[in-house]
Structure 1
Amino acid sequence: MVSNLAGGGAGQGVEPGTQLGALESYAAQAHGYLTVGGEQLAQLPGLLRPLVLESWLRSLRGGVDPMDEVDGRGLRGADLQRYRDNHPIAAVMPLVDKLLLQDATSTGLIVVIADQFGRVLSVHGNPDRVNAAAEAGLREGNDLSERRVGTNAIGLVVRTGRAAWIHGPEHYLHRMHRITGAAAPVHDPDGRPVGVLMIAGGVRVARPEILALVKAAATAAEMDLVLTAVRSRQRGAERLAADGDSPPPAPAGRLALDVLGLGQSQLTVSGERVPLSQRHAEILLLLAEHTEGLSADHLALLLDDTDLDNGTIRAAMSRLRAVVGPQVFGSRPYRLRVPLATDVEALRAALDSGDVDTAVRLYAGPVLPRSTAPGVIDIRDELRVRLRTAVLRSGDPAVLSRWTAGAEGRDDTAAWIAYRATVDRDSALYAQIEAKIRVLDRRMGADATQMQRYDS
């Protein structure tokens, strides 16, 4: 049944110059080394694209089994329908239907809509191919994040924030080898990811114009969200002006939340620092990230993918109110009613302004490093990837020195290589950096120089 998804033989639709046959052969060899493991993994850099290699290594470290079968876990039935209907990306579905669904599905491809965490909201296309996709794991309600199913196009977009395509055996899971996917992120007016669009099928998807089409549709969806937000604000202002009213006053006071690093999370209230439990810190961070508010169902999903019930959520919110006060957030949906500054927000602001040095100084460590809440994990990964990318691109020796001196950058081979490029070859510091790179090479069983060549 999975072969129905391919929409033709292996030789159809191959873009001249893409060398998909060689890519498939190399990826198949890489799977052989993955099975053997150990020192054989040193062969992977020569067989996989750098982006795919990094994703495979993360999948391997995360314990994802390449032979994993579809296990039936996921959001289903009324829970999925309610989550999908209330999700921000639902507002742009008419536009997505016009730009992607009608044309793509009529040509035998399928279109997948996922949320910002990689959970599939809907799959569209020919029923036989939708069923075949479900057998491979592309099923409504399933989690396609990299941490759950390894390397795939949606998971890469969620992880990196950039459009990506994955072809056949480049997928970490064997059951997804008949799929090629091209995916792009959709952001809200504040620049935060709200979803992912993907076209999937056989080798026809491995064309530059398919990825360009998905990216164009995602950009159009983002513009639609901006226009909707502007119109909503205009209507609200007009109603207030007509009624002679002003917006209701917010509760007095300003809160600050610190969640970066290994120390206990702290909430600052009117200048006084209050220690928080991990669960309370998770909830406040998620509410700060979702200014539009979160339903109990949505909050439960972000806190625990084993499906917390609403009673547990209500109890947690009641205990949190006792800590921060009854006026800090409302319900239906749960939403902050006072400004909440976070160190995550401050770090993002530094990155947005291009001040990488300040961003590195602000980065005391990962976001709530002990948290296993899916929503927190995604914030943690997004922030680290953004910061690391900015550091590597900075070419600033002071920034690279500070990054490689910290826990996150201490074993970051690419960062050490970038740091080496900023140092005088005749200096003692250059020799020290070179020695560190050689230690990392031996430890990882990979040739850092070769990886640098592929990354360039």
Structure 2
Amino acid sequence: MVSNMAGGQPPWHGTEPDAPLGALEVYAEQAHGYLGASGDQLGKLAGLLRPPVLESWLRSLRGRVDPMDALDDRGLRGADLRRYLQAHPIAALMPLIDKLLVEDTAATGLMVVVADQFGRVLSVQGNDERVAAAAEVGLRAGDDLSERRIGTNAIGLVVRTGRAAWIHGPEHFLYRMRQITGAAAPVHDPDGRLVGVLMIAGGVRVARPEILALVKATATAAEMDLLLTAMRPGQRDAARRDAGRPQPAARLGLDVLGLGQPQLSIADRRIPLSQRQAEILLLLAEHPEGLGADHLALLLDDSDLDNGTIRAAMSRLRAVVGPAVFGSRPYRLHVPVATDVEALRAALDSGDVDSALRLHAGPVLPRSTAPGIIDIRDELRVRLRIAVLKSGDPGVLRRWTSGAEGRDDAAAWTAYRATADPETALYAQIEAKIRVLDRRMGADATRMQRFGA
């Protein structure tokens, strides 16, 4: 082992996994000893960690990630995770990933991890015993591995920087993940947008240059597959014949949050929808088991819509999205539709309040009076508000109270005040706002809001 007591410099220069691992482990363990310190002591981290790891640790510290954070139950699970993966662009790449990575690594004791563009783990494949052991320390399907959530790790670093990365053992910011080594690479779509992350994870054997090279090569192959799919002549001809209508294998996106006109995304095109069309598509997306005409009518209108009206509405919708998107008896989607409602709900499920607020452009179809839409709107509003109040995050509370839904939320302003220094101008501004709300609504009303009534 190498000691740093004499003040020597760590024997690494680049970011490839070719540094002496014994020295790296010793220096990283020493760095963990400084995490509870401050000021000059934190300055010693610069001599102990590789540059990209140091930058990530400092971001983790600024983000108030707890290095002793315990494993919790936040994350997508079961049917929710399967539905999210099915609607995600990376789902089309899973057979390729299986062929290039999973089949060859299954017998080695290593694991193949696939995550989305936010760092949410979509799948962990490998030896059952190793997968179960990894789940016990926080590497499990459905969990959020973004740097903002758990600090330094290979997937989180790729999401943050857009570049391939490897993190070995105690270089992880979380102490509970110190036995894992991960080598990860980004997957981009033909337009250069990050769509996912591939990682090989396991023990010390992963900290070899050829492992990172293998992950990079697989990610490149996945990007080429996406590019070839986008360029395939048959698909372009079909698109021209059908004037942009999706084929049965297509994946659609539905945006219904906020005051703007609801829109349907088909590949790189965006099609404006009427409110009724958006209501129907959202309700079908929320009920993958399908809806009979009578049930759909009740969700769309308190009054008794007759079946003829429902058939006419579905016919108009087919004229926009194409005949292959949904069937009848019952009405059911045949093509996965990824909605911004689903993305917001997934962020809340994983405890990522910051991402949830970014996704929350406004209420669900705010002009809609359909009972089924009102239920979805109220559910999301209540869940988001509770998550904001429980977060205790000054940035989250600032964004909520500056928006339309939180501007007069006395409970949120009170929680925001608790995060501010009483000696600052910000505290005085928040206190003044709370007093205005007290006068406007009365002390009793304010007290009721503070207790969530």
* TM-score computed with the length of structure 1 as normaliser: 0.55
Q: CA deviation at 1:238?
A: 3.9
Which has more radius of gyration? Answer: 2
Higher RCO, 1 vs 2 (CA within 8 Å, ≥6 residues apart):
1
Describe how 1:180-259 pairs up with structure 2 within 5 A: 180-231=181-232, 234-238=234-238, 240-241=240-241, 246=243
- Aligned partner of 1:222: which letter? E
CA distance in 2, matches of 1:103, 1:247: 39
CA distance in 1, matches of 2:261, 2:153: 29
Which residue number corresponds to residue 354 of structure 1? none
Task: Evaluate the alpha carbon distance shift between residue 281 and residue 38 of structure 1 in structure 2; reply closer, same or farther with a 3 A threshold.
Answer: farther
Q: CA deviation at 1:316?
A: 2.1
Query: Are positions 1:317 and 2:364 aligned together?
Result: yes
Describe how 1:431-450 pairs up with structure 2 within 5 A: none
SS in 2 for 1:199: strand
Kept in 2: contact 1:287–1:294 (CA 8 A): no
Q: 2:338 aligns with which of 289, 294, 304?
A: 294
CA distance in 2, matches of 1:16, 1:214: 13
Q: CA deviation at 1:280?
A: 3.3
Q: CA deviation at 1:85?
A: 1.1
Which residue number corresponds to residue 107 of structure 1? 108
Which residue number corresponds to residue 51 of structure 2? 50
Describe how 1:54-453 pairs up with structure 2 within 5 A: 54-231=55-232, 234-238=234-238, 240-241=240-241, 246=243, 280=258, 294-295=338-339, 296-301=341-346, 305-306=350-351, 316-319=363-366
Which residue number corresponds to residue 421 of structure 1? none
Task: Evaluate the alpha carbon distance shift between residue 321 and residue 167 of structure 1 in structure 2; reply closer, same or farther with a 3 A threshold.
Answer: same
Task: Evaluate the alpha carbon distance shift between residue 50 and residue 283 of structure 1 in structure 2; reply closer, same or farther with a 3 A threshold.
Answer: farther
Task: Evaluate the alpha carbon distance shift between residue 239 and residue 207 of structure 1 in structure 2; reply closer, same or farther with a 3 A threshold.
Answer: closer
Report how many residues are paired. Answer: 277
Task: Evaluate the alpha carbon distance shift between residue 67 and residue 289 of structure 1 in structure 2; reply closer, same or farther with a 3 A threshold.
Answer: farther
Q: CA deviation at 1:370?
A: 6.0
- Aligned partner of 1:20: which letter? L
Q: CA deviation at 1:16?
A: 10
Task: Evaluate the alpha carbon distance shift between residue 102 and residue 283 of structure 1 in structure 2; reply closer, same or farther with a 3 A threshold.
Answer: farther
Which residue number corresponds to residue 408 of structure 2? none
Structure 1, residues 343-368: CA drift from partner, whole Å, max 9, x if none? xxxxxxxxxxxxxxxxxxxxxxxxx9
CA distance in 2, matches of 1:285, 1:29: 52
RMSD (Å), alpha carbons? 3.7
Kept in 2: contact 1:183–1:199 (CA 8 A): yes
| Structure 2 spans left out of the alignment, 5+ residues | 1-15, 246-256, 271-336, 370-395, 401-453
- Aligned partner of 2:167: which letter? I
CA distance in 1, matches of 2:169, 2:193: 30
Structure 1, residues 320-358: CA drift from partner, whole Å, max 9, x if none? 789xxxxxxxxxxxxxxxxxxxxxxxxxxxxxxxxxxxx
Structure 1, residues 380-428: CA drift from partner, whole Å, max 9, x if none? xxxxxxxxxxxxxxxxxxxxxxxxxxxxxxxxxxxxxxxxxxxxxxxxx
Q: CA deviation at 1:297?
A: 1.4
Kept in 1: contact 2:163–2:185 (CA 8 A): yes
Which residue number corresponds to residue 253 of structure 2? none
- Aligned partner of 1:179: which letter? I
Which residue number corresponds to residue 337 of structure 1? none
Task: Evaluate the alpha carbon distance shift between residue 16 and residue 78 of structure 1 in structure 2; reply closer, same or farther with a 3 A threshold.
Answer: closer
Task: Evaluate the alpha carbon distance shift between residue 239 and residue 42 of structure 1 in structure 2; reply closer, same or farther with a 3 A threshold.
Answer: closer
SS in 2 for 1:196: strand
Q: CA deviation at 1:229?
A: 1.8
Task: Evaluate the alpha carbon distance shift between residue 134 and residue 192 of structure 1 in structure 2; reply closer, same or farther with a 3 A threshold.
Answer: same
Which residue number corresponds to residue 365 of structure 1? none
Kept in 2: contact 1:282–1:303 (CA 8 A): no
Kept in 2: contact 1:157–1:183 (CA 8 A): yes
| Structure 1 spans left out of the alignment, 5+ residues | 1-14, 249-278, 323-367, 373-456
- Say which is worse superposed, 312-321 or 18-27, in terms of deviation: 312-321
Task: Evaluate the alpha carbon distance shift between residue 316 and residue 217 of structure 1 in structure 2; reply closer, same or farther with a 3 A threshold.
Answer: same
Kept in 2: contact 1:300–1:313 (CA 8 A): no
Task: Evaluate the alpha carbon distance shift between residue 317 and residue 206 of structure 1 in structure 2; reply closer, same or farther with a 3 A threshold.
Answer: same
SS in 1 for 2:34: helix
Structure 1, residues 18-75: CA drift from partner, whole Å, max 9, x if none? 2110010000001111123332101000000110011001101111110111111101
Structure 1, residues 174-201: CA drift from partner, whole Å, max 9, x if none? 0000010000000111110110000011
- Aligned partner of 1:235: which letter? Q
SS in 2 for 1:184: strand
Which residue number corresponds to residue 29 of structure 1? 30
CA distance in 1, matches of 2:125, 2:60: 28
* TM-score computed with the length of structure 2 as normaliser: 0.55
